Amino acid sequence: MVEIGADGRTWLLSGPTSSYGLRLGDEDELLHLHWGPRIALPDTEALAAGPGPEYWAFEATLDGHEEYPVEGGPRFVRPALSVRTPERRGTEWRFEGYETAGGETEGGETAEGEAAEGAGGDELRLRFSDSGLGITLHYRMRAGTDVIERWVTLANEGPALEVLRADSATWTLPQRDGWRLSQLHGRWAAESRLVRSGLTYGEKIIGSRRGHTGHQHLPWVALDADGTATEELGEVYGCALAWSGTWRIAVAQLPDARVQITGGAGYDDSGLLRLQPGETFVTPVFAGLWSDGGFGGASRAWHAYQRAYVIPDAEQDRPVLYNSWEATEFDISEEQQRALARRAAEAGVELFVVDDGWFGARTSDRAGLGDWTVNRDRFPGGLKPLGDHVHGLGMQFGIWVEPEMVNPDSELYRAHPDWVQFQPGRKRTELRNQLVLNLAREDVQEYLWEQLDALLSSAPIDYVKWDFNRAFTDAGWPGEGYPQRLWVDHVHALYKLLDRLRAAHPGVAFESCSGGGGRIDLGIMARTDQVWTSDNTDPLDRLAIQHGFSQVHPARAMAAWVTDSPNAQLNGRVSSLRFRFVSAMAGVLGVGGDLTRWTEEELAEARTWVELYKEIRPVVQGGELHRLRAPEGGLSAVQYVRDGEVVVLAWLQAQHYGEPSLPVRLRGLDPSASYECLETGEVHRGAVLLHHGLRTGLRGDFDAAVIRLRRM
Ligand code: DGJ
């Protein structure tokens, strides 16, 4: 809902529990009034009429109060918009007008990284201009959620200008005694790890200057006032960026105890792109959410938003997948894949995916990337016979690709050495023996479209795992001026290619992978069906990675595989099949071990777990998540609830002193209802489960349990 003050200069957007208020000042400055619990229009007007910010010579009146601080004039906070022409730098805008659009938004520009479907929501557009540059600020409260999507359109009708920085939004948080920041940091094989720290004065910057979202930070932050929020209680503000390239989020604690969070595409301030007369740039969405349900409530609200507006076909459950990578790496053949597929089908798998190594001269990571034709030594009849075999076993068939890359040892590179990102006279840095294609080039875009379209038409392919295994290092396009658009245009081209492939092959699902979880963000999630969470498949490390991931993204998108023990990829850790399965059942279950080496007993046990997963899947993938105990201690647990069905997954790393593990207190139940445990047949009172907890019966090392309860 958008409400407008009588003078047409105050606006209030409201969702089910929250409101967002802003006002246009006398000098056309756009002032932030409120973001927090739901309020009424008169409250907003009272805020607008209240005492303004104090002013003295060394502080700027506007700092900490503006919706979208531009560079120039009496401002010292981080500018969200910084542009320059040969004559001058900065912006002095005039207000042009506003529009609102209710329900299904029509006619408005869509944002980059925006969900492919589900345009529901109320939108407010505020238009400004400066010397021919049109600046539109977009606000959209997604229907039924408290998520506000913000983005900005720059439409240049004036002389050419350089956009040094164009953030999607600045979010302003109210004055509080103190603020605590939650972020998800990591590196390869250790992504999405949650860390909380008190915010101090100055700025905290996270981001990526790598050309992809990066393993180092998820583009998300949460702030709780006074550091008092718990898992179930307290005010939490969160912001998440829908962008899969280089990005930055700056969290600034201002001197007056306000916080401003500014985020958008690009890392540095030195130049994003040039805007010629007649050109338009639309920033990605930077979404914000206020919740008073603690960190758990905020996560559930983010999950509901993504299921409703971001993830394609989120109402459809994802199948149980098998992926051969950890079992075979590059050493693959049709016969071996058929053998794995037969074992996978026996285990109850529903989607069989051939990973790297099926194309070109790709027998190691040194050659073949870029040549998307089947290696006939390995698959003499192409991929179709294997695809048919997999379908005959009752499974869907998937393949791995890495379209944005090329090995110098490839037909593609030999034919088009100028198709990569490079700078003349400089080294072409190889990482994993590969270079990055310049996707800003239309010929490269067209080549990839033709190759992938032909590939998807050549065999019965239902699923594509789309990988990206190195960062940008030599991002240059000889002949193109600076700032080089390829940082931004690469992401646009990637999105366009995915959109085009999805439209042409509507039955095909896509997975976003980047050496594990290097490309997880709301932008890529709008175009893929699930993401590869991490190359770390150790079931214990995964609990922490999944705990972090779940802060913002839902289980419906979080792929997790059961692999071999001892863990061959990382640490040699020995863990029970039970522990490995229950760990992976917290997301979209997959199997990634060498099934030809699993014993018949292990395969039979796997089948039992897969069957159980299929039963609980609608609750795990579509239910509300409650994190009952974080994975730091020996015992951790999560719970999913959907329509009276409850699933608890619990893990015990190690039992000490023979002590029984503590009961876990459940959440989100009706205290006055009774719940039957499907495992034991016992009946529990809701109030007892909520206040005294459920005994998991876990003991020893690497024990785990799935407990199902049904409301009676
Ligand atoms: C990195 C991915 O994360 C792995 O799962 C696998 O697909 C390899 N790339 C293949 O090169």
For the segment 234-284, what is each residue's pLDDT rounded down to a tens digit? Answer: 999 999 999 999 999 999 999 888 999 999 999 999 899 999 999 999 999
- Give the contacts of 58 (CB within 8 A, at least 6 positions apart): none
Query: DSSP 3-state assignment of 323?
Result: strand
Burial 35-45 (b: 16+ CB within 10 A, else e): bbebbebeebb
Q: How much distance in Å is there from the Cα of 341 to the middle of ligand 1?
A: 19
pLDDT beyond 90 at 121: no
- Asked if 535 is an active-site residue, the reply is yes
pLDDT tier at 116 (50, 70, 90 boundaries)?
very low
Using one digit for the tens of pLDDT, what is the confidence trace for 58-71?
Answer: 888 899 999 999 99
pLDDT beyond 80 at 55: no
Q: Which residue ranges have their beta carbon within 6 Å of ligand 1?
A: 325, 355-356, 400, 467, 469, 513, 515-516, 532, 535
Helices (H), 405-441: 411-415
Q: Give the residue-averaged pLDDT of 616-631.
A: 98
Superfamily (CATH) of domain 321-618: Aldolase class I (3.20.20.70)
A 10 A CB-CB count for 185 gives 16
Name the region of 339 (left: φ>0; alpha: ψ -120 to 50; beta: rest).
alpha
Q: Enumerate the CATH 3.20.20.70 domain ranges in the chain, comma separated.
A: 321-618
Would you say 640 and 625 are in contact if contact means Cβ atoms under 8 Å apart?
Answer: yes
CA-nearest residue, atom 2 of ligand 1: 515
Q: How much distance in Å is there from the Cα of 615 to the middle of ligand 1?
A: 29
Catalytic-labelled residue, pool 467, 538, 541, 564: 467
Using one digit for the tens of pLDDT, what is the confidence trace for 559-574?
Answer: 999 999 999 889 999 9
- Give the contacts of 602 (CB within 8 A, at least 6 positions apart): 577
CATH of 64-309, one of 2.40.50.1020, 2.70.98.60, 3.30.1600.10, 3.40.50.20: 2.70.98.60
Using one digit for the tens of pLDDT, what is the confidence trace for 147-179?
Answer: 999 999 999 999 999 999 999 999 999 999 999
Please tell me the predicted confidence (pLDDT) of residue 106.
37
Would you say 406 and 369 are in contact if contact means Cβ atoms under 8 Å apart?
Answer: yes
Q: Give the residue-averaged pLDDT of 502-520.
A: 98
- Give the contacts of 312 (CB within 8 A, at least 6 positions apart): 116, 117, 502, 526, 527, 528, 529
Would you say 537 and 326 are in contact if contact means Cβ atoms under 8 Å apart?
Answer: yes
- Asked if 7 is an active-site residue, the reply is no
Lowest mean pLDDT among 44-58, 115-129, 322-336: 115-129
Q: Please, what is the average pLDDT of the chain?
A: 95
Please tell me the predicted confidence (pLDDT) of residue 493.
98
- Give the contacts of 216 (CB within 8 A, at least 6 positions apart): 185, 186, 187, 206, 208
Q: Enumerate the CATH 2.70.98.60 domain ranges in the chain, comma separated.
A: 64-309
Using one digit for the tens of pLDDT, what is the confidence trace for 635-652?
Answer: 999 999 999 999 999 999
pLDDT beyond 80 at 693: yes
Please tell me the predicted confidence (pLDDT) of residue 99.
96
Q: How much distance in Å is there from the Cα of 476 to the middle of ligand 1?
A: 26
Using one digit for the tens of pLDDT, what is the confidence trace for 167-218?
Answer: 999 999 999 999 999 999 999 999 999 999 999 999 999 999 999 999 999 9
pLDDT beyond 50 at 108: no
CA distance 364 to 144: 49
Catalytic-labelled residue, pool 409, 489, 535, 703: 535
- Give the contacts of 620 (CB within 8 A, at least 6 positions apart): 555, 585, 586, 587, 613, 640, 647
Query: DSSP 3-state assignment of 73?
Result: coil
What CATH number belongs to 629-711?
A: 2.60.40.1180
Please tell me the predicted confidence (pLDDT) of residue 624.
98
Residue from 354, 359, 531, 535 whose mutation best tests the ligand 1 pocket (most atoms within 8 A of CB): 535
DSSP type of residue 431: B
The encoded tokens of residue 701 equal 């090392």
